[in-house]
Amino acid sequence: MIGNRRSDILNLIINHYIQTGEPMGSKTLCQLLPYSVSSATIRNEMAALGEMGFLQQRHTSGGRVPTKASYRYYVDNLIVPEPLTPFEKQRINQLLSVNAADPERLLSDAARLLSDVTGCTSFFSTVKDEYDCVQGVDLIPAGENKAMLVMLTVGGKIKSSVIQMPCRIDDGFRRLFYAIAREFFIGVPVNEINMSLIQSTAPVLRDRLFDMLPALSSFCSLCKEASDGTLQVFGQNNLLSQEELGDSVFGLLTFLAEKTKLEKMLTQFAKSKVNNVLFLGEENPVYELKNTATAVAKFKYYDDQLATLGIIGSLRIDYSSILPRIDYIVKTCSKLLRQ
């Protein structure tokens, strides 16, 4: 701890900088502190906070601004969380309940909501599971010679596609499709379902092979999609309005577009023993994020499935407002995933 008066001064400077992006001088602090203290004393305290690595002075005669290190002290010791209103909680609950039965769509909805309520870039990821298997598959007629193929994995992934069929999808055709699915696909790991396995159905299908091929090919594609991990990023343009990032925003946008480093970082985090983390500045494990505040939460559902959800913003984000809203959205997602 750094003492009550220095904490008060640091708190005022950081809050002012978060709201305005401007430095604060001793005269302004004199007016805002809830007790009487001279400008000289405040300047001495600001100098001490500078020596401790919490404040910096951009110009010799200018006021002080917070350093990257000061945000950690602020979040851990000074922040006063802004509670959510009942309306905010109701809105979040309603939006997240829409796709509560589909983990990936739920997390996608949560990431979009995070971008909306925080004004930051948001993301969600799922980790590749080599042991996830096909639990069920359905072929639903959808008009003249069209069908919807829906596939569900043991890990809760739901994949679907609309396909053009070369024949009428009657009850007999569907019974044949389900028989093939039971014999060749149900219970098989999704990463083992490929065109070679599809071709092995030929002796059973015989003259119906070419009629069935569009459905089986689509099913193979859905399994390939389900076998890969997912990473989606939302609200990248929000970073352009965060002046604190300066020229580093372009490298950050490239990093987000390429996804490779971010995906690796999130996979490592998902497999760690930590559930929630807030990386501030240099604490970030990836160079491109060194000027950001990055919050990440981990989820584990259906025993073995791993996913992450989080936001990326500048160090000047409004922590008192943003962190409680991240926390509520994460807790709501955790509750829905457990159900």
pLDDT value at position 155? Answer: 86
pLDDT average, residue stretch 94-114: 95
Provide the 10 A C-beta neighbour count for residue 31.
6
What average pLDDT does this structure show over 198-209? 91
Asked if the model's pLDDT at residue 104 lies above 70, the reply is: yes
Sign of CA dihedral 284, 287, 292, 295: negative
Domain 4-78 has CATH 3.40.50.300: no
Determine the pLDDT at residue 61: 63
Q: What is the residue extent of each domain of the chain?
A: 4-78, 86-127+229-338, 134-227
CATH class of 134-227: alpha beta
Q: Is the pLDDT of residue 59 over 80?
A: no
Evaluate if residue 113 carries a pLDDT over 90: yes
Q: What is the pLDDT of residue 130?
A: 85
pLDDT at 162: 93
In this structure, CATH architecture of domain 86-127+229-338: 2-Layer Sandwich (3.30)
Counts for the chain of helices (H) and strands (E), in that order: 13, 10
3-class SS at 204? Answer: helix
DSSP H/E element including 214: helix 209-227
Residue where the block lists tokens 């023993």? 273
Q: Matching CATH topology for 4-78 and 86-127+229-338?
A: no
